[in-house]
């Protein structure tokens, strides 16, 4: 089983809100990886929209993403790309 992790800054204006959380979950849904997301000591399942929203990750927040499983590296890449693309939102 492989593992991968990354620390990311939330840069989009609205933070990790409902639509952004749904996009986060969707970008890893078809992968063989368990993803955990941590912010300020609170860790949630990366496949849970509600869990991600409970992190209250606003613009400027930093999150730690940890993935394990056969597709761990791809999961971290997908999430990094999504966050760095501002969740596809215009600013």
Among candidate residues 79, 88, 89, the one with its CA nearest the CA of residue 9: 79
Calculate the CA 28 to chain-centre distance: 9
Catalytic residue among 11, 14, 17, 77: 17
Catalytic residue list contains 17: yes
Number of Cα atoms under 13 Å in the Cβ half of residue 44:
19
The catalytic residues are 17
């Amino acid at each position: 089983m492989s593992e991968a992790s990354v620390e990311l800054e939330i840069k989009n204006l609205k933070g990790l809100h409902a639509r952004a959380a749904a996009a986060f979950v969707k970008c890893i849904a078809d992968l063989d990886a368990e993803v955990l997301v941590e912010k300020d000591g609170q860790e949630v399942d990366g496949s849970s929209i509600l869990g991600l929203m409970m992190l209250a990750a606003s613009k400027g927040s930093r999150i730690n993403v940890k993935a394990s499983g056969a597709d761990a590296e791809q999961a971290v890449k997908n999430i990094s790309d999504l966050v760095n693309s501002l969740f596809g939102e215009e600013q």
